[in-house]
Structure 1
Amino acid sequence: MTESTSSKKKRKRSLETVPVSSPLAARRSGRRDIKVGPKCTCDYCGVDITRTLYFRCAECPNFDLCLSCFSVGVEIYPHRSYHPYRVISYIAEFPFCQGWTAEEEENLLDALLMYGLHNWQLVSEYVRTKSKTKCEQHYHQVYLQGVTAPLPNLDFKTTLTAISMKEQEEPESAQEWKEAEQATKEVSIVKVSPDESSILSGFLPKRKDFDVEYDDNAEATIAELQILEDDTVEERLLKMKLLEIYDLKLQERERKKDAVLRWKMYDVNQVNEDLEKLGNEDSKWMELFFNLGQFLSKEELDTFVQFMKQDMAYRSELVRLLSYRANGISNFKEAEEFERQVVRRVEELEQRLDRIKHSPLYESNQREDIEKKKMKKVSSNRVVASSSTDYKPMTLSTGMKDYDKLSFMEKAFCSAIHFKPSDYFQFQQMVKKLAENKKTKSTSHSPWIVDWPQQR
């Protein structure tokens, strides 16, 4: 018992001797709180901008803004958005080799502590600015094969400025772009298989399910719904109603899902082939009745469309036969002669119109008609303008009879149509009498109702 207690105390003391700010402590605690240099925060939102690009006001002392706050023009007295500013970027100090900053070195070591020496892809993603090949080469050259290995060469002095570092990084970026472009060219065009075609449409064939279901947010209404014992009757009824609504949404989802599976609309290749097979006329009919596909199978819908096409053909034929009967035609021989006469008359009419259009008299008449239309338009505009300017509403005075009985809207109405208050009430009484007479006499008609003939 005493040995186990003493061993626990030793382990505890060994853990306490590790500095809190060391990478090993950060790895054990699962956090990364290593800081380099003084900390700088945004004066508006308080976010840490030490290692990012930020903006410093040239007039206000020690006033810094992050990129988000600067982009929306944040103002805190006495700072104004139109003040001149300087762009401050994070510049790490004491790089161990050209092209690597202190922040990148720190991220590299932290990533190696977390992921190990062989997970260079994860290390590269943690460093963010270097590829996995660069990270591996840099670690071997500086920390394993260097003169002062395993420590880096601290006597290395750099004379690189920000411009020279940028110029050095450009060839590497250009080389990476060339490698990526070459790799893209080497990729062969792969034909999409039926399973991959289904995945493109969001359908998972092995699960018979979709990535995004119909009304995908239906569960949000009942996600936090709880039926408790102390619920009132109204609360319980409300929750049951929500469950009923959710059940209806599930039924609608299953119905639409069944229609998609039945029609195989998840197969992109098959859908494109079916569309190519349809002609212009068939595609128009299919678009017209496609919504019925939720309730019918593909064969049933095709049969229905064929029946509708036949029905339309029969109706057009019936209209043609009725036109024959209206013209006194009683057999097909007379119908053929009638069609020939119609075609001949249409051709003669077109020829006659062409001769008229090319005659000089027609051109002169056309010019005269155009001039007349212009004159009518100008005169009508003048009449409308004069009538609109000369018209003035009538002014009602308090001395008029029955003026006090009018409401505000009635006064405006009488003034607009030039009605005296007494005439308005007299007209109102006449309308009421006509309405009463209509109730007593079913044959009488109101002067304000127009009986339109019913369409057949």
Structure 2
Amino acid sequence: MDRLSSFGNDPFDKPPCRGCSSYLTEPYIKCAECGPSPFLLCLQCFTRGFEYKKHQSDHKYEIMTSDFPVLEPGWTAQEEMALLEAVMDCGFGNWQDVAYQMRSKSKEECESHYMKNFINNPLFSSTLLSLRKTKDACFADGAIPFKPTDEPPRPTFDSVLSRDMAGYMPARADFMEEFDNYAEWDIKDIDFVDDDSDILRALKLAVVDIYHSRLKERQRRKKIIRDHGLINMRKFQVLERCYPKEVQELYDVMRRFARVTGPVEHDKFIESHALEFELRREIRKLQEYRKAGIKSFCSAKVYERVKRLREDERRKRTMLCDVLQYIQDGRACQQWLSKQAAIDAGITPAVTTITTSATGRRSAPPLNLTGLPGTEKLNEREKELCQVVRLVPGAYLEYKQALLNECRRQGGLRLAQARALIKIDVNKTRKIYDFLIKEGYITKA
């Protein structure tokens, strides 16, 4: 059983199943005798004894899976890859979203495992600059980090890759809508006849030449898309997210130069700018350390920690000014100040529901019923309900009549029936239902 060979591979990079052409999901089967290109089968085709050309059902095989621990027990290789992808998508430190994307681990487990094995572990404590040196060494050895898409992928219908490649026809290796899609309209009515004058014939030939130039431009754009692997945009976007934000902006600006450079040269061009950006950032950090009188990396760690504490204190001091400029209610401002004082004193603040809701938002002011149609039909208690619930009188009268009719028809009404009958916010429905029960308009079932 070969369990390590599938670790770290993108499922879109693996060839599809030779039997049913579906994308392979672990575990799957690899023939140990067919080669040199791998002969891969899904479990369904393997159990049916699929045979193709030289491959026979009695060949030796290997089970490809990543369901085994790598760094510590309880974390499989598949979960390790999912954790790294989640950190890359959500960002370092955003453990709540990382755990939500992982689904199999909690926020604390993701943070402790990542910090233990990928940050504080000396085996993985390599900087970005060392990774760049490794890539440069690979380039020197002749390794090419990007392979042009000579044969575009052919995903199965209604698969994830098929939806990502919408508008592309894999079987024909062509697009449903061409660049300059209506170029043929200019020549569809041109007809060369013998009695054409010299000027008219020259004009027709000029139109045909223009059409040929537009066809060349269409083919040139197709070649750029094929050579740079832009057909599978999902994979292309994943590669872009590997860079910092500033490099991503540079990537968008430099994309126009892809028309004059090959895919490998263009990637090296972007990598060199990313390395320059990283070097400049490291130099600025070292200059800051030198200006602060720091001469060792141990002191630099202490400096960074103290710097973060100073920034947190500065934000706390400016937080009150930022909040007060949006608060006009003196009572709400006093409650906020009391809550912050309790937090600073280490006391759990009491939850107030007078002016703030459970989510911490300010409650909406009562609705002004002046001039609204139907207000004269309400009594004082109904007006108070409409103001608190923020419901216009006309809508309240319609909801009230519908509940009364349903109560008379069934001899009583439950809250669930009222919610099914009135398609509004469930909290507003409960308040209307309780009010009508209290006032005696309707009765419970």
What is the TM-score of this pair, normalised by structure 1?
A: 0.27
Q: What TM-score results when the alignment is normalised by the length of structure 2?
A: 0.28
Report which of the two has the higher share of helix: 1
